[in-house]
Chain A
Amino acid sequence: MATPKGAIGNEPVVRIAVGGEHDGTDRLNAARDTAETVDVVAVGPTGVEALAPLVLATRDGATAFLPRCTVEDARTAVEALEDGSLPDGGPTVEHDPTTSTLPLPPEETMVSTALTAGVRRALGGCGWQAPASVADYRTSCDGALLAEDGIDDPDAVHERVADAALRGRGRGDGSTDDPISGAWTTASETDGEPVVVVNANEADDHARADRLLLESAPLAVLDAALATAHAVDATDVLVYTNDTESLARERAQEAADALAAECDSPVPIQVVAGPDEYTAGEMTMALEAMEGNDRLEARRRPPGPAEYGLYGRPTVIHTPRTFAQVGQALAGEGLGGVPGDPGTRLFTVAGDVDAPATIELPTDATLADVRGAVALDGGLKTACVGGRFGGLTRDLDVPASASGLRGARLGTNGVIELFDESTCTVALAGRRAKLAREENCGRCVPCREGSKQLVDLLRDVYDGEYQDGMLRELARTMRETSTCEFGQEASRPVTTAMESFEPEFRAHADGRCPSGSCDGVSS
């Protein structure tokens, strides 16, 4: 099967970002209808919603940015290139014609500062490389695929990842916040044929990094997953997405086909869908969904998936974010960041902002850097860091590393929701507790019954009774004794809110909501 045509080096070329929240398919069709000699290539989104749909027009080593591009603008851009010029109206940047990463125009010329916030390493190819073009992807790894190296010397792949002390990223990873090489060793030493799972299933609409990687740079993820499969002697690679994320699935499939055509690997890559439920991303429920179980439930552990995974086979399961870091480690460049958690982390900034943006921070940066990426309506009161069951904080001066986030009692699933002064922290924590009560799988008592009592104890606050000791005791038990991360993390918004915003709990018990947003406080 022929690998799809790339965008890099084929000038003049118009890149249309298709995917993300603002799909550019109509721009793509208009541009293709207009084009006679100019190449029009569908690329993935950049992760910056404020720019979408983004169109890039490139000729002679210069690229014009057309953020929030209309259908008409897309046609005009093609016509301009056909006429031998660059379209007007957007900032332009000069670059090496064969650069593998999105060249960035000066910050002051753009409608959003999110592209220049942090760094763009794992995100480098997003919006620039044609997602399933091996030719484009090869420009970013100096010609040789990681999987090709993996076939030749699987032990070297494992050694490099172990030497780098790379940790797993995101919810639904088999080694979240832990060094991943331990799970690789376990999987390869356990009896049975190992499987590698790319777990991209995520129902939290704010956690978009994994979907972004599959829509924009699926080859970087799959190449690293295939190299991992060789390193642990796995016989299958499975990419697991949400049911509704058809574009991510389609691009992952195209990338898998392109990789199979280019690379003589005996390991097939299959793309499968799981339900769009929040619990379906949890690593053992992901395995249950792939096995076709009729009801999703977390598995008892230990042993974890590295010993007993898909159909009982040893399974290495990581998110696309983790595989992107594996790719960076194998590409031989210094990962940077702090030695205990090297590399970068992807954060999607959402909440009361003009437009969500996914940005990349080295682990030695602080979360405060995300403030430069988005415009917040009003002043920042609270941030929820780490996804739906993240920690609430006023202070973003926290290192972007696993230990830094954990130390600040924040979550490590790359989401930072920013909330302005009108947000009531008690109500925010209460909504997250209610979510835990409604969405849990129902298996273990501390999560199923604990989340019910958690909601009831928060209701008591509104009725005038703030039982902080009871709340802390319950939260501790849920955290210490729940079977999976869902229950272990479900009480975090409440406990962190009690730590950082305790006067608000007392005010509610006294019948007053300081932010003025709660109805029904007793008076």
Chain B
Amino acid sequence: MSTDQSTPRVPDVENPQPTMPLTEDIRPGTANDPPVEIVERDRTADADRAATLTVDGESVTVSAESTLLDATEAIDTDDYVPALCSYDDHDEIGPRSECRTCMVETEEHGVVPSCSFPAEDGMTVRTDTTEASEARDVNLDLLLSNHNLRCTTCGKNGRCELQDVSIENDVAEPRYGVFDERDAYEPLDDSSPFIQIDRNKCILCNRCVEACNDVQVEGVLRIEGSGEDTRIGFQNDAETMMDSTCVSCGHCATVCPTGALVEQGLTDAATIPAPGFTQKNSIGKTVEAENDRFQPGQATPMKGDQGDESAAEPTAESPATEDD
């Protein structure tokens, strides 16, 4: 009997989800997450219907599609809820609910991530229970354990969300230490004249990927790898920013909560002068720009080639088609 029957990985079933016609073939590398709003099975279709819940003893009313984080942000909570990876400035970015520094305790569902948990009418939420507080603190320290904490040479010093929440949360000594193995540092990607990438500062919040794919629809960035090898990579499998299809729009750097993606002009905008210390020598390894590949425009050479493919084809007049 034959055992080499090949089976399609993608079944032939209807996909009712709308897909936008794209000029880019975008491979997101991230999960097809559900929408946040709770499916209102037992309610009438009234989108404006509010949910009233109790947060730290206080009654809070939010719109039906809100999260618990929206409810906690509406009042002064008893404990600080960092919600580091959460981004609420744009519909198409997050909530990713990856860092888990926003855990709160609910009577109904136990400890849950507030950034993505739908606010249900009648819920009772507490931010100050031992379990929720421990979970937030441990997860913030876990983030720091994999973060290159060289703030004084970082271009995002003073405008870094991780720095802000660490200060706000009174982190004096992260319990798992900080990422300080220079041998394990990834090289600084300084190849592009517009965006610098320092993956040693990346918390994998996915904001840059969503800004690039879902907002700008450029399809340059993606998450690649798994486990401890998970990293921000490029959809065209390039190793460096210069070899990617980046158009240097800068949206990724704008939404990045740390110093992982920084506009080149700002890489030393906020550093504290310390003799002999720069970001580059603190990392140790750098992928430098190649002078001969300096971008004439904002698009990388790869992106430029895409728009100019016909010019690369031999034409009737070109010497390649002529016989000797």
Q: Are A303 and B227 in contact (CB under 8 A)?
A: no
**Chain A nearest CB: distance from B127 CB in Å?**
15
Interface digits, B107-132 against A, CB 8 Å rule (1 contact, 0 not)?
Answer: 00011010011100000000000010
**Chain A nearest CB: distance from B113 CB in Å?**
7
Q: Are B34 and A312 in contact (CB under 8 A)?
A: yes
Which residues of B have CB within 8 Å of A238? 11, 13
Which residues of A have CB within 8 Å of B204? 442-443, 448
Q: Are B16 and A192 in contact (CB under 8 A)?
A: yes
Q: Are B9 and A299 in contact (CB under 8 A)?
A: no
The answer to the question of B90 belonging to the interface, with a C-beta cut-off of 8 Å to chain A, is no
Q: Are A300 and B27 in contact (CB under 8 A)?
A: no
Q: Are A273 and B7 in contact (CB under 8 A)?
A: yes
Which residues of A have CB within 8 Å of B8? 272
A458–B17 CA distance with the chains assembled, in angstroms: 45
Contact of B41 among A189, A296, A297, A450 (CB under 8 A): A189
Contact of B116 among A25, A236, A300 (CB under 8 A): A300
Within 8 A of A (CB), among B94-114: 95-101, 103, 110-111, 113
Which residues of A have CB within 8 Å of B4? 246
| Given A250-B5, A300-B97, A473-B134, 20 more pairs with CB closer than 8 A | A246-B3, A246-B4, A250-B2, A273-B7, A293-B28, A293-B31, A295-B224, A297-B29, A300-B116, A302-B38, A302-B117, A308-B39, A312-B32, A442-B204, A442-B228, A443-B31, A444-B99, A448-B204, A449-B176, A452-B145
Interface digits, A192-225 against B, CB 8 Å rule (1 contact, 0 not)?
Answer: 1101000000000000000000000000000000
Question: Which residues of B line the A interface, CB within 8 A?
Answer: 1-5, 7-17, 27-35, 38-39, 41, 95-101, 103, 110-111, 113, 116-118, 131, 134-135, 138-139, 142-143, 145-146, 175-176, 203-204, 222-230
Interface segment, one of A91-99, A395-403, A475-483, A511-519: A475-483
**Chain B nearest CB: distance from A263 CB in Å?**
20
Which residues of A have CB within 8 Å of B116? 300
Which residues of B have CB within 8 Å of A311? 13-17, 32
Q: Are A481 and B135 in contact (CB under 8 A)?
A: yes
**Chain A nearest CB: distance from B157 CB in Å?**
23
Known contacts A250-B1, A250-B5, A444-B100; is-contact A303 B228 (Cβ 8 Å): no
Interface digits, A250-277 against B, CB 8 Å rule (1 contact, 0 not)?
Answer: 1001000000000000000011111000
Within 8 A of B (CB), among A429-468: 437-446, 448-453, 456
**Chain B nearest CB: distance from A252 CB in Å?**
10
Contact of B146 among A42, A192, A273, A452 (CB under 8 A): A452
Known contacts A284-B31, A303-B34, A453-B142; is-contact A481 B113 (Cβ 8 Å): yes
**Chain A nearest CB: distance from B146 CB in Å?**
5
Known contacts A246-B4, A289-B9; is-contact A295 B228 (Cβ 8 Å): no
Summed over the interface, the residue pairs from A and B with CB atoms below 8 Å come to a total of 193
Q: Are B41 and A477 in contact (CB under 8 A)?
A: no
Mostly, the B contact residues are: loop
Q: Are A445 and B41 in contact (CB under 8 A)?
A: no
**Chain B nearest CB: distance from A247 CB in Å?**
6
Q: Are A453 and B135 in contact (CB under 8 A)?
A: no
Within 8 A of B (CB), among A7-28: 18, 25
Which residues of B have CB within 8 Å of A279? 226
A292–B19 CA distance with the chains assembled, in angstroms: 15
Which residues of A have CB within 8 Å of B103? 480-481
Q: Are B11 and A290 in contact (CB under 8 A)?
A: yes
Which residues of A have CB within 8 Å of B5? 246, 249-250, 253
Which residues of B have CB within 8 Å of A470? 175
A473–B134 CA distance with the chains assembled, in angstroms: 8
Q: Are B175 and A270 in contact (CB under 8 A)?
A: no
The answer to the question of A49 belonging to the interface, with a C-beta cut-off of 8 Å to chain B, is no
A311–B95 CA distance with the chains assembled, in angstroms: 19
Contact of A453 among B1, B31, B176, B227 (CB under 8 A): B176
A275–B276 CA distance with the chains assembled, in angstroms: 50
A30–B111 CA distance with the chains assembled, in angstroms: 61
Q: Are B10 and A291 in contact (CB under 8 A)?
A: yes
Q: Are A300 and B9 in contact (CB under 8 A)?
A: no
Which residues of B have CB within 8 Å of A439? 226-227
The answer to the question of A73 belonging to the interface, with a C-beta cut-off of 8 Å to chain B, is no
Which residues of B have CB within 8 Å of A295? 29-30, 222-224, 226
**Chain B nearest CB: distance from A498 CB in Å?**
17
**Chain A nearest CB: distance from B37 CB in Å?**
9
Query: Could you say which of A18, A246, A247, A481 has the most chain B C-beta atoms within 10 Å of its C-beta?
Result: A481
The answer to the question of A406 belonging to the interface, with a C-beta cut-off of 8 Å to chain B, is no
**Chain A nearest CB: distance from B134 CB in Å?**
7
Q: Are A186 and B41 in contact (CB under 8 A)?
A: yes
Instruction: Find the B residue at minimum CB distance from A301.
Output: B34
Contact of B13 among A189, A195, A253, A274 (CB under 8 A): A195
Q: Are A190 and B41 in contact (CB under 8 A)?
A: yes
The answer to the question of A51 belonging to the interface, with a C-beta cut-off of 8 Å to chain B, is no
Q: Are A294 and B142 in contact (CB under 8 A)?
A: no
Q: Are A291 and B34 in contact (CB under 8 A)?
A: no
The answer to the question of A64 belonging to the interface, with a C-beta cut-off of 8 Å to chain B, is no
**Chain A nearest CB: distance from B142 CB in Å?**
4
Q: Are B134 and A476 in contact (CB under 8 A)?
A: yes
Known contacts A190-B41, A246-B3; is-contact A274 B31 (Cβ 8 Å): no
Instruction: Find the A residue at minimum CB distance from B41.
Output: A189
Q: Are B30 and A480 in contact (CB under 8 A)?
A: no
The answer to the question of A298 belonging to the interface, with a C-beta cut-off of 8 Å to chain B, is yes
A476–B10 CA distance with the chains assembled, in angstroms: 37
Q: Are A448 and B227 in contact (CB under 8 A)?
A: yes
Q: Are A293 and B145 in contact (CB under 8 A)?
A: no
Contact of B138 among A191, A247, A287, A473 (CB under 8 A): A473
Known contacts A310-B13, A311-B13; is-contact A481 B227 (Cβ 8 Å): no
Nearest 6 interchain pairs by C-beta: A442-B230, A308-B34, A292-B10, A449-B142, A477-B138, A311-B15
The answer to the question of A288 belonging to the interface, with a C-beta cut-off of 8 Å to chain B, is yes
Query: Could you say which of A192, A297, A474 has the most chain B C-beta atoms within 10 Å of its C-beta?
Result: A297
A169–B96 CA distance with the chains assembled, in angstroms: 29
Which residues of A have CB within 8 Å of B39? 190-191, 303, 307-308
